[in-house]
C-alpha cells in the first residue's frame, strides 16, 4: 500500500511518522536506526526515509558523531507546551476548589481564548446567596476583573483591538475611554498584582477580583477569580478574599515554573 495514500480516515504517512516518534519516545534515549525501525515495526530503509523528513521538520535530530537519533527541538517545544496546557488547567481546578473552601465565595478559572478571557470552570460556595458563573463565558477586558488582569500582562498586540472596541462602549467610565486612562488603570493592576471591579461591573450588584497565574516563561497563562455580591464581598487589598486570591495565584505560578518578575507586555 502506498504510504502517501490518504482517505476519509486520515493521512497514512503522518500516522507512520507518528509511529516512529512513538518508538523514539518509548526508547527513552537516543537510538540507532535499526532500534527505531524495530520499535516502529518497519524496515530500516523505510524508517530512514521518514526520519529524514522528521529531521527537516525539527521533530528529530541526529548526532553526526554517533549517528544516533533523538527528539528534536520542535518535539521538545511541543512537549513543553502540552505539559503547560495540561498541568495548568488541572492544577488550576484544584486551586479554585481550595479557594472556595477557604473563603466560601464563588471562585473560577479563566484562560485566554480567541476572543478574550474564557471561564473554564467555577466552584459554588456553601452560602444561601451566591453569584453563578457560566462556563464558556467570554469576559470583557475593561468591565471584568479577569479581563483587566489579562489586559495588564498579555502582549499588547493581542489585546489592543479588543480594548479599542470596548473603549467606545457607552457604559464604559469616562476615565477608560482614552488610551492614557486605560494604561493608567492597567499600570495600577500590575502594581497591586490583582484587579477588581469595585464600583463598575457589567452586571449590577456583582463584584469580582482576579489575579494572574504565570508559567515557566513568566508569561500570564491563566487567571483565578473570586466573584461575590456587592456589599457582601470584601475587595480591599488587605482583606481576606484578596489575600487568599493572591496567595493561591502566586503559589500556582511557582508550581508552573514561574520565577522572578512577570514579563511586562510589549
Q: How many helices (H) and strands (E) does the chain have?
A: 8, 9
pLDDT the model gives residue 201: 57
14 and 124, same domain (yes or no)? no
> Own/partner pairs for 30-36, CB < 8 Å, 24+ apart?
30/63, 30/66, 30/68, 30/69, 30/70, 31/68, 31/69, 31/70, 32/67, 32/68, 32/69, 33/67, 33/69, 36/69
Q: Give me the CATH number covering residue 99.
A: 3.30.450.40
CA pair distance 128, 91, nearest whole angstrom:
28
Q: Are residues 91 and 48 in the same domain?
A: no
Domain boundary among 47, 71, 95: 71
Whether 1 maps to a domain, the answer reads no
192 phi and psi, to 5 degrees? -80, -30
Predicted model pTM: 0.69
Can you give the pLDDT at residue 229? Answer: 83
* CATH number of domain containing 32: 1.10.10.10
| 260 within a domain of the structure (yes/no) | no
- The answer to whether position 262 is within a domain reads no
Count of domains for the chain: 2
Q: Is the domain of 66 the same as that of 95?
A: no
Q: Where are the alpha helices (DSSP H) in the chain?
A: 12-27, 33-40, 44-56, 73-103, 145-153, 156-166, 179-192, 240-255
Q: Is residue 23 part of a domain?
A: yes
Counting as low any pLDDT under 50, the low residues of the chain are 1-7
DSSP code per residue over 80-98: HHHHHHHHHHHHHHHHHHH
Is residue 42 within 8 Å of 1, Cβ to Cβ? no
* Grid coordinates belonging to 77: 517545544
Does some domain include residue 261? Answer: no
Task: Give, as one character, the DSSP assignment of residue 234.
Answer: -
Among residues 71, 92, 110, which one ends one of the domains? 71
Same domain, 155 and 247: yes
Is there a single domain that holds both residue 173 and residue 67? Answer: no
Check residue 154 and give its pLDDT. 95
Q: Are residues 122 and 219 in the same domain?
A: yes
Residues 54, 91: one domain? no
Cα-based angle 165, 143, 189 (whole degrees, multiple of 5): 105
The SS3 assignment for 192 reads helix
In a shared domain, residues 24 and 150 = no
- Give the domain extent around 29: 6-71
Q: Are 105 and 215 in a shared domain?
A: yes
In a domain, 77, yes or no: no
The reply to whether 188 and 244 lie within a common domain is yes
pLDDT for res 3: 47
Is 181 within the bounds of a domain?
A: yes
18 and 142 both lie in a single domain: no
Tell me: do 136 and 250 sit in the same domain.
Answer: yes
Q: Is residue 266 part of a domain?
A: no
Amino acid at each position: 500500500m502506498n504510504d502517501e495514500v490518504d482517505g476519509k480516515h486520515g493521512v497514512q504517512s503522518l500516522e507512520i511518522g507518528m509511529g516512529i516518534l512513538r518508538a523514539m519516545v518509548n526508547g527513552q534515549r537516543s537510538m540507532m536506526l535499526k532500534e527505531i525501525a524495530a520499535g516502529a515495526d518497519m524496515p530500516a530503509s523505510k524508517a530512514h526515509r521518514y526520519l529524514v523528513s522528521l529531521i527537516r521538520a525539527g521533530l528529530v535530530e541526529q548526532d553526526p558523531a554517533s549517528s544516533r537519533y533523538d527528539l528534536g527541538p520542535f518535539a521538545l517545544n511541543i512537549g513543553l507546551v502540552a505539559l503547560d496546557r495540561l498541568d495548568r488547567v488541572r492544577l488550576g481546578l484544584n486551586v479554585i476548589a481550595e479557594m472556595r473552601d477557604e473563603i466560601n465565595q464563588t471562585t473560577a478559572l479563566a484562560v485566554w481564548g480567541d476572543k478574550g478571557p474564557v471561564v473554564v470552570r467555577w466552584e459554588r460556595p456553601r452560602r444561601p446567596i451566591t453569584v453563578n458563573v457560566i462556563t464558556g463565558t467570554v469576559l470583557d477586558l475593561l468591565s471584568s476583573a479577569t479581563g483587566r488582569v489579562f489586559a495588564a500582562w498579555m502582549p499588547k498586540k493581542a489585546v489592543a483591538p479588543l480594548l479599542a472596541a470596548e473603549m467606545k462602549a457607552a457604559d464604559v467610565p469616562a476615565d477608560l475611554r482614552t488610551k492614557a486612562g486605560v494604561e493608567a488603570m492597567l499600570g495600577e493592576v500590575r502594581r497591586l498584582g490583582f484587579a477588581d471591579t469595585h464600583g463598575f461591573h457589567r452586571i449590577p450588584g456583582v463584584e469580582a477580583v482576579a489575579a494572574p497565574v504565570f508559567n515557566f516563561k513568566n508569561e500570564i497563562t491563566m487567571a483565578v477569580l473570586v466573584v461575590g455580591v456587592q456589599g457582601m464581598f470584601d475587595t480591599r487589598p488587605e482583606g481576606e478574599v484578596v489575600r487568599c486570591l493572591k496567595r493561591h495565584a502566586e503559589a500556582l505560578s511557582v508550581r508552573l515554573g514561574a520565577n522572578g518578575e512577570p514579563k511586562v507586555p510589549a
